[in-house]
């Protein structure tokens, strides 16, 4: 979604200050400290590019709003607060948990200029991305704020609208209250409860098997929360038994060849609220085999076409396995 014009095709003078400011974040949701950053950026540059991170992914308790919904809230906030929306452009960029250089490239393409001023809060380890653009000038905030989106989300889930109102603008508050009346919000509350119950049991360690034949992969829809109904790499003993059955039908040489790959899906934040790691193994088959109950052959194109239908980081993990990204 775009607000204002697209990236400029004209070159920038190397002796002139950058005309473009960049603000990268998930904005889940946008709060008043973000608003102050936007104001600061627009006071010193002609154009501001707001990069919406974690785009095109399934809703989670940590990322409850889609990039389209976040963009809508930002546009409403900008208009309501009297900003010149022609000076702001919104760009959505997905996560690349297992290939950070690809994420950096995606952000650079979205911004569309070589020189820029990067604005942001250096608050904790999650702010590491600010150092991934060394050729961009960095402008820290000229103010202090204790606001954080985590507290705002918790207040929203508790329907403590008085606390939310203190942290966000009226436009964002109205949007969040509308969202809280949707089935999607009810699903998040159910996931939140399930995550808390799982977290009490300690770290989750699972193993999954991904079978790929030609242009399709064998996946299974999740029957439990979190992520109920989302596509996932089949996990558990049944997945391994299915793989063993397939290899017996084909040949044991499959296990001894380079037709399989393995990697641990363990990116921080892949399952917000849980310490969940999945040891995933990919087997490439010469043809499809009958799927086990609850599983289905899904086109590989779904990884790019509908990544929001995949659980956690499974779309990215599958891509990493298929393309053999470095571990």
Neighbours of 176 (CB within 10 A): 24
Residue 303's SS3 state is helix
Phi, psi dihedral angles at 123 (to 5 degrees): -100, -40
Confidence band for 158, pLDDT divided at 50, 70 and 90: very high
Cα distance between residue 285 and residue 214, in whole Å? 8
pLDDT of residue 12: 33
pLDDT of residue 13: 35
- CATH numbers and ranges of domains, the chain: 20-181 (3.40.50.620), 204-323 (3.90.79.10)
Neighbours of 46 (CB within 10 A): 11
Both tokens of 55, joined, read 């785009």
pLDDT of residue 2 exceeding 80, the answer is no
Of the candidates 291, 147, 325, which has an alpha carbon nearest to the alpha carbon of residue 221? Answer: 291
pLDDT of residue 3 exceeding 50, the answer is no
pLDDT of residue 122: 82
Confidence band for 244, pLDDT divided at 50, 70 and 90: low
Q: What is the pLDDT of residues 288-313, one digit of tens each?
A: 988 888 899 999 999 999 999 999 99
Neighbours of 249 (CB within 10 A): 10
pLDDT of residue 255 exceeding 70, the answer is no
Confidence band for 6, pLDDT divided at 50, 70 and 90: very low
The mean-pLDDT minimum among 73-77, 134-138, 283-287 falls in 283-287
Of the candidates 131, 114, 264, which has an alpha carbon nearest to the alpha carbon of residue 203? Answer: 264
Confidence band for 236, pLDDT divided at 50, 70 and 90: confident
Phi, psi dihedral angles at 180 (to 5 degrees): -65, -10
Cα distance between residue 19 and residue 153, in whole Å? 34
The secondary structure element, H or E, covering residue 217 is strand 216-221
Q: Tell me the β-bridge partners of 283.
A: 211, 260
Q: What is the pLDDT of residues 101-152, one digit of tens each?
A: 999 999 999 999 999 999 998 876 667 888 999 999 999 999 999 999 999 9
Confidence band for 225, pLDDT divided at 50, 70 and 90: very high
pLDDT of residue 256: 46
Strands 20-25 and 117-119: parallel
170-179 vs 67-80: helix axis angle to the nearest 10?
Answer: 150
Confidence band for 240, pLDDT divided at 50, 70 and 90: low
pLDDT of residue 252: 52
Confidence band for 259, pLDDT divided at 50, 70 and 90: low
pLDDT of residue 11: 37
Average pLDDT over all residues of the chain: 90
What average pLDDT does the segment 253-270 reach? 74
What average pLDDT does the segment 207-232 reach? 95
pLDDT of residue 10: 35
Per the model's pLDDT, the better-predicted residue between 79 and 9 turns out to be: 79
């Amino acid at each position: 979604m775009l607000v204002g014009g697209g990236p400029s095709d004209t070159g920038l003078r190397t002796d002139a200050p950058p005309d473009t400011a960049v603000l990268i974040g998930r904005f889940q949701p946008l709060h008043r400290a973000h608003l102050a950053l936007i104001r600061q950026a627009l006071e010193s540059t002609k154009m501001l590019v707001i990069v919406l991170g974690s785009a095109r992914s399934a809703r989670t308790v940590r990322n409850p709003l889609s990039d389209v919904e976040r963009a809508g809230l930002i546009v409403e906030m900008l208009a309501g607060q009297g900003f010149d929306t022609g000076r702001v452009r919104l760009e959505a960029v997905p996560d690349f948990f297992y290939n950070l250089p690809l994420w950096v490239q995606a952000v650079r393409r979205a911004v569309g200029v070589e020189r820029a001023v990067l604005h942001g809060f250096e608050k904790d380890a999650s702010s590491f991305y600010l150092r991934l653009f060394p050729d961009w000038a960095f402008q820290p905030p000229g103010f202090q704020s204790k606001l954080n989106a985590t507290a705002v989300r918790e207040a929203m889930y508790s329907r403590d609208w008085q606390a939310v109102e203190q942290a966000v603008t009226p436009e964002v508050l109205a949007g969040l209250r509308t969202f809280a009346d949707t089935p999607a919000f009810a699903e998040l509350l159910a996931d939140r409860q399930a995550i808390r119950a799982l977290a009490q049991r300690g770290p989750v360690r699972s193993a999954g098997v991904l079978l790929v034949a030609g242009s399709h992969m064998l996946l299974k829809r999740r029957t439990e929360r979190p992520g109920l109904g989302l596509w996932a790499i089949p996990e558990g003993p049944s997945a391994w038994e299915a793989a063993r059955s397939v290899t017996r039908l084909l040949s044991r040489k499959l296990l001894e060849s380079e037709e399989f790959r393995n990697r641990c899906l363990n990116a921080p934040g892949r399952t917000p609220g849980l310490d969940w790691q999945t040891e995933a193994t990919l087997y490439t088959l010469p043809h499809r085999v009958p799927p086990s109950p609850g599983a289905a052959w899904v086109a590989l194109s779904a990884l790019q076409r509908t990544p929001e239908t995949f659980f956690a980081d499974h779309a990215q993990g599958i891509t990493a396995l298929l393309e053999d990204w470095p571990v």
